[in-house]
Amino acid sequence: MATMRARHKIRAPRRGLASSQTDDYDAVWSVLSASLTEIHTKNASTLSFEELYRSAYRIVLMQRGQDLYTHVKEHEQGWLRGTVQKIVTDSISTTLVCAQTQNASELLDQSNERRAAGEKFLAVLKEAWEDHQLCMSMITDVMMYMDRIIALDHDKPSIYVVSMALFRDHVLNTKVRPDSDLTVMDVLNSTVLFMVQLERAGHMIERPLVRHCTQMLEGLYETVKEEESSKLYLTIFEPAFLEASTDFYKAEGRRLLEIGDAAVFCRIVTQRIEEEHERARTTLSMLTETKILALLDSELILKNIDEVVQLEGTGVRHMLDHNQMEALHRIYTLNARVDRKKEALSKSVNKRVVELGSEINAASIVSPAGVTAPPEKDAEKSKKGKEKERPANQQTVLAIQWVDSILALKRQFDNVWINAFMRDQGLQSSIMASFSDFINTNPRSSEYLSLFFDENLKKGIKGKTESEVDALLDNGITMLRYIKDKDLFETYYKKHLSRRLLMKRSASMDAERQMISKMKLEVGNQFTQRIEAMFKDMTVSEDLTASYKDHVAKSADPDHKPVDLEINVLTSTMWPMEIMSNSKEGILPATCVFPREIEALKQSFERFYLDKHSGRRLTWQASMGTADVRASFRRSNGKIQRYELNVSTYALVILILFNDVPDGESLTFEEIQSRTQIPHHDLVRNLQSLAVATKTRVLLKSPMSKDVQTTDRFCFNNDFQSQFVKVRIGVVSGGANKVENTDQRKETEKKMAEERYGTIESAIVRIMKQRKTLTHTQLVSEVLSQISSRFVPEVSMIKKRIESLIDREYLDRVSEDPPTYDYVA
């Protein structure tokens, strides 16, 4: 070659590369156009890509690219109009055309026919589309050089895009029949919708076929710019689909409501959601998924949820009552879809909680006369002895039952909450609020809860493992959380606790301590301070008793048999004295006249104690004590039978009286009272247990009757019989903690109110001391926040306290608008 000699000279490209062929555009085009037809008729394998490509390349190099572009476009248009259009319109049977104008009922009659026709049409359309796509991608490949040069230089869309637009215009937008306005697109729309309708009605349809058609719509755009939002799918099909779906689900919602079963409703709706989700993924397009689901949410759920929740006999109430977790879970899920707060659900759950709670409340305050406690409780009660059958005790049982029922209810709802509501925070707090509501509507809730603890700490925990006890106490603490008047609870708890401690009725001190620490965690230090002081008194007293015994052992003369003394010295401010001693007007009860032996013992202890702690005053609470007595009964046959009696201190005093009474003689009630000075009320109770209770009839009363009258006479019963050597004589309605009667209750309330005054006043003073000046509203809200952990005071109460403090010159009113107070130091 000549160029080889000048190595560094750049060789000109050989222009004459294609010179052997003609430069005539028309000739080249005619070859090309023939080839394009071949491609469309699927004969491409006879063609050489390289040859076609080179032809297009040459045309472009000839500067005739524009012409080529136009010609290809025209060629495609011709092909689509001439061939494809006919195939597609032919595939649309008359059934489909008519279907457009018919109403729904007729449609169903012809559904099979229409379905077959529709499937045929869709199949043909799908094939036409796929062919077009494939051919166009081949042609675009061949024309790539042209696309690169022309489309870029002249800002024209690629030939592929143009041909897609041609398909839209000349296939989809053509009229089905020359004489109708219906376009292929309309038929396609209605056919796909029909298919969806069939599927919703439970028929199987050919999903892939429908999917191909919607994919086609997704691949086509309104303009050649091909913006996402101008997809035919989005502009034409989807609105129609959503509209049809809205209608369908409106009707569906009505239909489901008419069935009137909430569980069924939820199940079907859940199923529908799943179906639409599936449909969007497999049959239509992912683009629609969120929209159709939103539509379901608003049409099916939002519009109907309230009604469904309240459906009589099958709604949430029914589900809760029958523990239908699955249904509840469904309804929860549905409600959560449309409402973050799940208002409909929580409203009805709360309503049910309050309803059930009120039932429990009502059951607990049935008047004693009409009480019919559940049988199992009866059985349990009869074991506890006859005194339990008294109305007051029945009330106590009811109180404990009340707590048990609430705990059971709480467990039930906790269970629902965990299993059906996915531990939803909002629902939890709303359920808790409802519990708190109804618990606090029962004015005796604090007392009942304390009784519940009392009962359990006395006997409930026997034979239970530590973890069971723990769970039991935790349950009670949970309830304590709901109770607003915690100070009232504290009062009752102290009262019940003092009985347990003094009468040694507590089953386990460990459990008691555990309880205290739990309460401390729950409501704070201040709350348990006094209760802890009570425990401290108990331990100190134990030491004291021991050291007194030592002291007696050393000092006493050996001949004299000392009476064993076990003593509890209690700090009067920490213990609920007034409640224990049953005093009415707050005056200290006169202590009874102790018999010689006891009086000596008492004085000996007083000397011993005051030696150690001078300046203290001891008050003897005979009503709280017990004594063990060995009593001898002289039978009529001369034998002597001995029993060990465990009696209250008062009973002891009464019995010792009879030591001095000769056999056969008797004492009147008044005589006993004047000699012992035992308060009337206590005397009646003690005589009742000594002379009326059948098993412990140590005294004989005449006349025999159930009640103790002031005119009755008593004598010693030498024929007393018992199968045990040791006999416990309980004081009638004395030893056991039980529900207060109305008078006691009024008393407690009065005391409570006084204590609250004090608490509020001290809170006000504390706050004002720190803040010096505050407006009325600020002060009230501060007070509320400070003492709400103990109880929830009424604003009017706070107001009264403020006024009282102003009267007593602790505070000063400095301004009227807004009302403001100053602290007076």
Would you say 43 or 70 has its CB closer to another protein? 43
Tokens coding 162: 């143009």
- CA 386 from centre of chain: 42
Would you say 9 or 383 has its CB closer to another protein? 9
In the complex, what is the shortest distance from the CB of residue 138 to another protein, in angstroms, rounded to a whole number?
4
- Told to check if 180 binds another protein by CB under 8 A, we report no
In the complex, what is the shortest distance from the CB of residue 92 to another protein, in angstroms, rounded to a whole number?
29
Sole window of 9-17, 106-114, 412-420, 624-632 interacting with another protein (rule: CB under 8 A): 9-17
Q: How far apart are CA 479 and CA 403, in angstroms?
A: 8
In the complex, what is the shortest distance from the CB of residue 1 to another protein, in angstroms, rounded to a whole number?
9
Which helix (H) or strand (E) segment holds residue 195: the answer is: helix 184-200
Contact 764/801 with Cβ under 8 angstroms?
A: yes
- Told to check if 57 binds another protein by CB under 8 A, we report yes
Cα 66–63–49 angle (5° rounding)? 80
Would you say 131 or 532 has its CB closer to another protein? 131
Q: How far apart are CA 554 and CA 728, in angstroms?
A: 32
Sole window of 6-14, 377-385, 460-468, 648-656 interacting with another protein (rule: CB under 8 A): 6-14
Would you say 51 or 564 has its CB closer to another protein? 51
Would you say 61 or 373 has its CB closer to another protein? 61
Q: How far apart are CA 562 and CA 651, in angstroms?
A: 20
Would you say 53 or 609 has its CB closer to another protein? 53
Would you say 13 or 586 has its CB closer to another protein? 13
Sole window of 5-13, 123-131, 589-597, 648-656 interacting with another protein (rule: CB under 8 A): 5-13
- Told to check if 7 binds another protein by CB under 8 A, we report yes
Cα 423–270–425 angle (5° rounding)? 15
Contact 726/643 with Cβ under 8 angstroms?
A: yes
In the complex, what is the shortest distance from the CB of residue 131 to another protein, in angstroms, rounded to a whole number?
13
In the complex, what is the shortest distance from the CB of residue 139 to another protein, in angstroms, rounded to a whole number?
9
- Told to check if 212 binds another protein by CB under 8 A, we report no
Would you say 14 or 225 has its CB closer to another protein? 14
- Look at residues 173, 276, 151 and name the one whose alpha carbon lies nearest to residue 224: 151
Contact partners, residue 696, CB within 8 Å, separation at least 6: 689, 690, 722, 727, 728, 729, 730
Would you say 144 or 293 has its CB closer to another protein? 144
Asked whether the bond before 818 is cis by omega within 30 degrees of 0, the reply is yes
In the complex, what is the shortest distance from the CB of residue 168 to another protein, in angstroms, rounded to a whole number?
23
- Told to check if 53 binds another protein by CB under 8 A, we report yes
Residues 12-51 that bind another protein (CB under 8 A): 12-14, 17-18, 42, 44-51
DSSP letters of 81-124?
IIIIHHHHHHHS-HHHHHHTTS-HHHHHHTHHHHHHHHHHHHHH
Quickly tell me which residue has 């056991």 as its tokens: 736
- CA 725 from centre of chain: 55
In the complex, what is the shortest distance from the CB of residue 48 to another protein, in angstroms, rounded to a whole number?
5
In the complex, what is the shortest distance from the CB of residue 146 to another protein, in angstroms, rounded to a whole number?
12
In the complex, what is the shortest distance from the CB of residue 141 to another protein, in angstroms, rounded to a whole number?
4
In the complex, what is the shortest distance from the CB of residue 46 to another protein, in angstroms, rounded to a whole number?
7
C-alpha separations of 191 from 87, 188, 249, 285, 287 in Å:
17, 5, 19, 16, 20
Phi/psi region, residue 537 (left: phi>0; alpha: psi -120 to 50; beta: rest), is alpha
Neighbour count for residue 399 (Cβ, 10 Å): 26
HSE, side-chain direction, 13 A CA sphere, residue 442: 29
Would you say 52 or 732 has its CB closer to another protein? 52
- Told to check if 9 binds another protein by CB under 8 A, we report yes
Contact 206/217 with Cβ under 8 angstroms?
A: no
Q: How far apart are CA 674 and CA 677, in angstroms?
A: 5
Would you say 51 or 754 has its CB closer to another protein? 51
Which of 2, 10, 379, 587 lies at the binding interface for another protein (CB under 8 A)? 10
- Told to check if 54 binds another protein by CB under 8 A, we report yes
- Told to check if 62 binds another protein by CB under 8 A, we report no
In the complex, what is the shortest distance from the CB of residue 8 to another protein, in angstroms, rounded to a whole number?
6
In the complex, what is the shortest distance from the CB of residue 10 to another protein, in angstroms, rounded to a whole number?
6
Would you say 16 or 463 has its CB closer to another protein? 16
Q: Is 175 helix (H, G, I), strand (E, B) or coil?
A: strand
Would you say 141 or 644 has its CB closer to another protein? 141
Q: How far apart are CA 197 and CA 188, in angstroms?
A: 14
Would you say 45 or 614 has its CB closer to another protein? 45
Would you say 18 or 107 has its CB closer to another protein? 18
Would you say 57 or 194 has its CB closer to another protein? 57
Residues 76-135 that bind another protein (CB under 8 A): 134
Burial environment of residue 22 by CB neighbours within 10 A (0 to 12, 13 to 18, 19 or more)? exposed
Pairing, β 773-775 against β 811-816? unpaired
Quickly tell me which residue has 């050996």 as its tokens: 558
In the complex, what is the shortest distance from the CB of residue 11 to another protein, in angstroms, rounded to a whole number?
4
Pairing, β 811-816 against β 819-823? antiparallel
In the complex, what is the shortest distance from the CB of residue 47 to another protein, in angstroms, rounded to a whole number?
6
Residues 327-346 that bind another protein (CB under 8 A): none
Sole window of 4-12, 262-270, 478-486, 788-796 interacting with another protein (rule: CB under 8 A): 4-12
Would you say 47 or 209 has its CB closer to another protein? 47
In the complex, what is the shortest distance from the CB of residue 13 to another protein, in angstroms, rounded to a whole number?
5
Residues 131-150 that bind another protein (CB under 8 A): 134, 137-138, 141-142, 144-145, 148
Sole window of 8-16, 390-398, 526-534, 776-784 interacting with another protein (rule: CB under 8 A): 8-16
Number of residues that bind another protein (CB under 8 A): 32
- Told to check if 160 binds another protein by CB under 8 A, we report no
Would you say 7 or 560 has its CB closer to another protein? 7
- 775-804 per-residue burial string, b: 16 or more CB within 10 A, e: under 16: ebeebbebbeebbeebbebeeeebeebbee
Quickly tell me which residue has 């009860």 as its tokens: 589
Sole window of 7-15, 71-79, 110-118, 303-311 interacting with another protein (rule: CB under 8 A): 7-15
In the complex, what is the shortest distance from the CB of residue 71 to another protein, in angstroms, rounded to a whole number?
21
Q: Is 643 helix (H, G, I), strand (E, B) or coil?
A: strand
Residues 717-746 that bind another protein (CB under 8 A): none
Q: How far apart are CA 697 and CA 695, in angstroms?
A: 6
Q: Please report which residue ranges of 322-424 form alpha helices under DSSP H.
A: 325-338, 343-364, 375-383, 391-419
- Look at residues 488, 487, 498 and name the one whose alpha carbon lies nearest to residue 527: 487
In the complex, what is the shortest distance from the CB of residue 225 to another protein, in angstroms, rounded to a whole number?
24
In the complex, what is the shortest distance from the CB of residue 234 to another protein, in angstroms, rounded to a whole number?
28
| End-to-end CA gap in the chain | 121
Sole window of 1-9, 408-416, 431-439, 506-514 interacting with another protein (rule: CB under 8 A): 1-9
- Told to check if 392 binds another protein by CB under 8 A, we report no
- Look at residues 305, 468, 445 and name the one whose alpha carbon lies nearest to residue 364: 445
Contact partners, residue 631, CB within 8 Å, separation at least 6: 642, 643, 644, 645, 655, 698
Per CB under 8 A, residues contacting another protein are: 3, 7-14, 17-18, 42, 44-54, 57, 134, 137-138, 141-142, 144-145, 148
